[in-house]
């Protein structure tokens, strides 16, 4: 369990939702931090912590150092509002902010069958919608209850979420860059409420990975230059979601079965061996039935209209029709069988996108080589 400040006692977890760590008689008033924490848990968050809204004296320089190594195409937004990300008590975020309430929502649903090749967080509805709604309700609660200003923040805002999660005691940053909450794991989404209300901060969490390098070793594309140092241009999540155009030949086989995103480094993390939260509390991440009818070979036949219909309300819309079909072709080249040869041949000959046609042709050749087929058999 995450430390809840000095003198905090460990609470229990029921149904995967963290309960109050400070038993209080029904008539005793709760102190503000615990009032806010209980409200956040009632809204469905699995872990909550508080940090002072101070300048990020350690994490912001690390972020600048990472940017200095260069960003691949499609990630330029990470270099925007560079100085804004140093602190949240400014007009760009919330002038006069005193505290950052960090909320973590787990999307871990255990061994539930799901669509192969789609990262766990993206199998259900687009998390931005329901995560933002919960944060807005928490911010409204702070305004009404304490008369404080409060701004809800998700990952579309210029805020270094992982830094605030560490400072708020929600989790530590693992060697793969994911926030790991002890007792909950790393399958987490983060959101914050920045507020002018001054709340006692929780104890920050420092890393607990020790000598373990399982996440680094499991990366299929060798994207980690060192612990905590990711080369985004090699990351499977970047390649399948943000990258536009052809994928470099050397990085096509490392995609393996991944159509959208990648969970490889999280699947091997020992901290994810913990029991997942209740299915009810993670119901928004349940795999959508539509994926059952759309394996990679079916995705290759999508038009712009059918792509929009299939991905509406999900994170997969971000890849675009061309990107998702390109990924599907390469996945079939990596994992397909003889029955997929006609599908790839058709896409290679007639897909409207030259990027997809090229990917299908490459996949067709690689699949044929893997099946030891002669050219006349294609």
In a domain, 359, yes or no: yes
Q: What is the pLDDT of residue 156?
A: 80
Tell me which residue of 264, 288, 254 sits closest to 216, measured CA to CA.
264
Instruction: Indicate the pairing of strand 188-195 with strand 99-106.
Output: antiparallel
Both 27 and 100 in a single domain? Answer: yes
Interior angle at CA 96, CA 94 and CA 101, nearest 5 = 65
Both 169 and 53 in a single domain? Answer: yes
Which DSSP category does 298 fall into? H
Comparing 24 with 250, the larger pLDDT belongs to 250
Interior angle at CA 197, CA 192 and CA 202, nearest 5 = 60
pLDDT band at 18 (very low <50, low <70, confident <90, very high): very low
What is the C-alpha separation between 153 and 191, in angstroms, rounded?
Answer: 6
pLDDT band at 29 (very low <50, low <70, confident <90, very high): low
pLDDT band at 11 (very low <50, low <70, confident <90, very high): very low
CB 351 within 8 A of CB 325: yes
Both 307 and 191 in a single domain? Answer: no
Greatest Cα pair distance in the chain: 83
Q: What is the pLDDT of residue 155?
A: 86
Both 131 and 251 in a single domain? Answer: no
> pTM of the full predicted structure?
0.88
Expressed as residue numbers, the domain containing 96 is 13-195
What is the C-alpha separation between 330 and 349, in angstroms, rounded?
Answer: 15
Both 31 and 100 in a single domain? Answer: yes
Q: Kindly write down the DSSP assignment for every residue of 266-288, as one continuous string.
A: HHT-GGGGSPP--TGGGGGGSPP
Both 163 and 304 in a single domain? Answer: no
Both 25 and 169 in a single domain? Answer: yes
In a domain, 282, yes or no: no
Q: What is the pLDDT of residue 281?
A: 96
Both 44 and 154 in a single domain? Answer: yes
Residues noted as catalytic:
155
Both 180 and 232 in a single domain? Answer: no
- What is the number of domains present in the chain? 2
Question: What average pLDDT is seen over the chain?
Answer: 91
Residue whose structure tokens are 């209740």: 278
What is the C-alpha separation between 175 and 210, in angstroms, rounded?
Answer: 10
Interior angle at CA 266, CA 319 and CA 57, nearest 5 = 90
């Amino acid at each position: 369990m995450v430390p809840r400040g000095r003198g905090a006692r460990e609470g229990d977890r029921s149904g995967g939702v963290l309960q109050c760590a400070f038993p209080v008689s029904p008539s005793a008033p709760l102190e503000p931090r615990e009032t806010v924490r209980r409200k956040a848990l009632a809204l469905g968050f699995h872990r909550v912590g508080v940090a002072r809204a101070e300048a990020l004296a350690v994490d912001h320089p690390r972020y600048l150092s990472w940017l200095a190594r260069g960003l691949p195409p499609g990630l330029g937004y990470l270099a925007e509002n560079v100085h804004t990300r140093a602190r949240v008590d400014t007009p760009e975020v919330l002038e006069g902010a005193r505290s950052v309430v960090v909320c973590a929502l787990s999307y871990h649903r255990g061994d539930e069958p799901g669509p192969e090749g789609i990262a766990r967080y993206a199998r259900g509805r687009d998390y931005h919608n329901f995560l933002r709604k919960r944060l807005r309700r928490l911010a409204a609660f702070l305004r009404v209850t304490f008369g404080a200003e409060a701004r809800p923040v998700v990952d579309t805002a210029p805020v270094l979420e992982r830094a605030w999660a560490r400072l708020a005691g929600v989790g530590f940053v693992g060697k793969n860059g994911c926030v790991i909450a002890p007792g909950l794991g790393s399958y987490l989404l983060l959101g914050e409420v920045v507020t002018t209300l001054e709340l006692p901060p929780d104890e920050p969490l420092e890393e607990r990975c020790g000598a373990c390098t399982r996440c680094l070793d499991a990366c299929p594309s060798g994207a980690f230059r060192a612990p905590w140092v990711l080369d985004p241009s090699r990351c499977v999540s970047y390649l399948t979601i943000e990258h536009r155009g052809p994928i470099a030949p050397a990085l096509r086989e490392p995609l393996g079965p991944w159509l959208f995103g990648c969970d490889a480094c999280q699947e091997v993390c020992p901290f994810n061996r913990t029991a997942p939260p209740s299915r009810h509390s993670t119901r928004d991440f349940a795999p959508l039935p539509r994926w059952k009818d759309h394996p990679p070979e079916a995705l290759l036949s999508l038009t712009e209209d059918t792509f929009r219909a299939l991905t509406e309300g999900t994170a997969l819309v971000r890849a675009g029709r061309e990107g998702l079909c390109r990924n599907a072709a390469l996945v079939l080249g990596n994992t397909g069988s003889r029955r997929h040869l006609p599908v790839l041949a058709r896409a290679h000959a007639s897909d409207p996108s030259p990027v997809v046609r090229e990917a299908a042709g490459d996949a067709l050749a690689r699949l044929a080589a893997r099946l030891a087929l002669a050219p006349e058999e294609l």
